[in-house]
Amino acid sequence: MTSTTLAPDLQAKLDHLRAIIRACGSALVAYSGGIDSTLVLAVAHEQLGDKALACIGVSPSYPRRELEEAIAIAREIGAAYRLVETNEHLNPNYAANPVNRCYFCKSTLHSHLVAIAREEGWNAILDGANASDVGDFRPGMQAAREKGVRSPLLEANITKPEVRAIARALGLRIWDKPAMACLSSRVPHGTPITPDLLRQIEAAEDTLVALGFRQFRVRHHGEIARIELASDELLRAIEQREAIVAGVRAAGYRFVTLDLAGYQRGSMNAIHVARDDIRTRKPIS
């Protein structure tokens, strides 16, 4: 893999990333098919060859379309991959959907990867956290640190825009792929997470995918589906409202609404809960 059209400072960061991953000797990559973990996987495959393995966590919160694309991208890179059934919804702490739900999700995934690494002799576990994630509320990063998972993008001080620039230079076709959080992020905190609920949300979002929308969320509010779209796609949604309504209702919603504020990352977070309180919240016994 060779890079092109990178500024010297960004090339230096890519070289640093390569050195960090090469020094691991062998690594499991917590891989979702998003651009961050895809870049880590691509560089890991470049530097480690068959000593790099993509591990894809499979659960009801991970859309089938995302799984299929992740597999396709791993094959394009030439990297080996493995599907890892996580079943985090069976954990009552996760299923209760507290504000720090992501902690329990990532803890479950990383526990599986730690077990694989120990049993098979992998030296490191890598994830796709980057420098832009620092300071944001990301309880999953806490879980990763507790399990000894490394974040080479963060270690190389590579930000999200830089991830995209490097990925584009390396020829990764998803360099501009919109962020795609798990399906549980569409549900208000405190509303229990169940596989049936996640399948309902996935079916509703599949309607938007089929109609060509790229940046979207279907936020779940009981019988109401609140659709968030990128601002430049709102008018097109009005034009295609009949198809959207039909598809979302077929998924099980009675009312279909379009949020005029547009797509907002993390809009379901209960921001009134203090972060210190979140971090000290005890698991359900």
- Contacts for 114 with CB less than 8 Å, ≥ 6 apart: 125, 147, 148
Q: Which of 66, 95, 84 is nearest to 30 (CA)?
A: 84
182 as an active site residue: the answer is: yes
Q: For tokens 């999953």, what's the residue?
A: 140
* Active-site residue identified among 24, 102, 105, 182: 182
Distance between CA 78 and CA 72 in Å, rounded? 10
Q: Give the chain's length.
A: 285
Catalytic residue numbers? 182
